[in-house]
Amino acid sequence: MIKIRPRGNESIQQMLKRFKRLCQREGLTRDMKRHSYYEKPSERKRRQSRKALRKVDKDELFVPRSHG
């Protein structure tokens, strides 16, 4: 659970901005969006495989070359 305490003379808007940033960093917003609707197991597998393929493609783009 994320807890925010006011720092000195911090306004409500600054506290809210800090809270949102912490939620985003922890991945809470992503989880809330993902759990806001039911995802069939087949759709979940498809999403995960697409994510893995993107990772492989990204890794292949940035293959370090040896200077030989």
| Residue 2 in this model has a pLDDT that exceeds 80 | yes
User: Domain residues for 20?
Assistant: 12-61
What would the mean pLDDT of 27-38 be, rounded to a whole number? 90
CA terminus-to-terminus distance, the chain: 51
Is 66 within a domain? no
3-state secondary structure at position 57: helix
| Residue 41 in this model has a pLDDT that exceeds 70 | yes
| Residue 64 in this model has a pLDDT that exceeds 80 | no
pLDDT tens profile 6-17: 999 999 999 999
Is 22 within a domain? yes
Is 67 within a domain? no
The model carries a pTM of 0.55
Is 3 within a domain? no
pLDDT of residue 68: 56
Count of domains in the chain? 1
Is 1 within a domain? no
- Who has greater pLDDT, 22 or 59? 22
Is 4 within a domain? no
Q: In Å, what is the CA distance from 52 to each residue of 32, 56, 61?
A: 22, 6, 14
